[in-house]
Amino acid sequence: MAAETVDTAGLHDWITRFGAAVAEKREWLTELDSAIGDADHGANMARGMSAVSEKLASSAPAAADDLLKTAGMTLVSSVGGASGPLYGTFFLRMGMAAGAVQELDAPALAAALRAGLEGIVARGKAEPGDKTLLDAMSPAVDAFDAALAGGGDLAEAAKNAAVAAATGRDATLPLVARKGRASYLGERSAGHLDPGAASTALLFESLDATIAAG
Ligand code: ADP
Ligand code: MG
């Protein structure tokens, strides 16, 4: 039977998987950013997540909030692009919502993900449809909640969130960017996937893999 909670080691595993995924897809993320940005999203995410992994390897916190906050602060301080503060805020707010616990059950993880999403909205002021990473994250968090509300377990929620994030990423293709560097291109930003939505799909794919493995 699949686990009904994710503990601090599980959250660490998620972060490690996300780091490996952005490192593996680094060229692709940069290619996406070269079409509508400044060709650094792959490098930004790979550098940031590698700094996070190093930091956590030197002092792995025992509590969920410490782990998530350490990841968030490391991202904010190691990535110069927009994505560093945005993903950093996501993990920081997740940590604040999680609190000093050793494990999160499905509703607690849902609440933490929602808090992370709200932190990104507060920081970046983007709305759904602006062609940003929110277009993958917002449907993912909604799908996570909907699965639980429908009686689904943690594994089903994580799976549905990963599928929704990938669908949201793909749905950025025709959009005209209204936030971030891509917005400077106006109508010419249409016809390209948003790089941040692509990395966010990897974030939820990694969470699903962690839950499925647990
Ligand atoms: P930069 O744009 O500074 O070069 P990155 O290339 O690392 O930083 O990240 C770009 C991504 O950040 C975009 O594809 C978009 O998804 C996301 N992004 C940019 N601005 C915002 C914002 N205000 N709100 C949410 N996401 C944003
Ligand atoms: Mg960029």
Query: Separation of 63 CA from ligand 2 center, angstroms?
Result: 33
pLDDT at residue 3 in the model = 73
**179: nearest Cα among 83, 44, 74:** 83
Pocket of ligand 1, beta carbon within 6 A = 33, 37-38, 40-41, 44, 81-83, 86, 120, 124-126, 132-134, 179-181, 194-197
Q: Which domain holds residue 117?
A: 5-213
For the domain that residue 78 is a member of, what is the CATH number? 1.25.40.340
Q: What is the 3-state secondary structure (H, E, C) of the chain?
A: CCCCEEEHHHHHHHHHHHHHHHHHCHHHHHHHHHHHCCCCHHHHHHHHHHHHHHHHHHCCCCCHHHHHHHHHHHHHHHCCCCHHHHHHHHHHHHHHHHCCCCEEEHHHHHHHHHHHHHHHHHHHCCCCCCCCCHHHHHHHHHHHHHHHHCCCCHHHHHHHHHHHHHHHHHCCCCCCCCCCHHHHHHHHHCCCCCHHHHHHHHHHHHHHHHHHHC
Beta bridge partners of 7: 103
Nearest CA to ligand 1 atom 19: 180
Ligand number nearest CA of 45 is: 1
Ligand 1: which of 83, 123, 131 to mutate, judged by most atoms within 8 Å of the beta carbon?
Answer: 83
Closest atom of ligand 1 to 33 CA is 6
Which residues line ion ligand 2, judged by CB < 5 Å? 33, 37-38, 40-41
pLDDT at residue 2 in the model = 61
In this structure, how many other beta carbons lie within 10 angstroms of the beta carbon of residue 96?
A: 16
Query: Separation of 105 CA from ligand 2 center, angstroms?
Result: 35
- DSSP codes, 66-108: HHHHHHHHHHHHH--STHHHHHHHHHHHHHHHH-S-SEEEHHH
Q: How many domains does the chain have?
A: 1
pLDDT mean values, one per 10 residues, the chain (214 residues): 85 98 98 97 98 94 97 96 97 98 98 98 97 98 98 98 98 97 95 98 98 94
pLDDT at residue 1 in the model = 46
Query: Separation of 71 CA from ligand 1 center, angstroms?
Result: 18
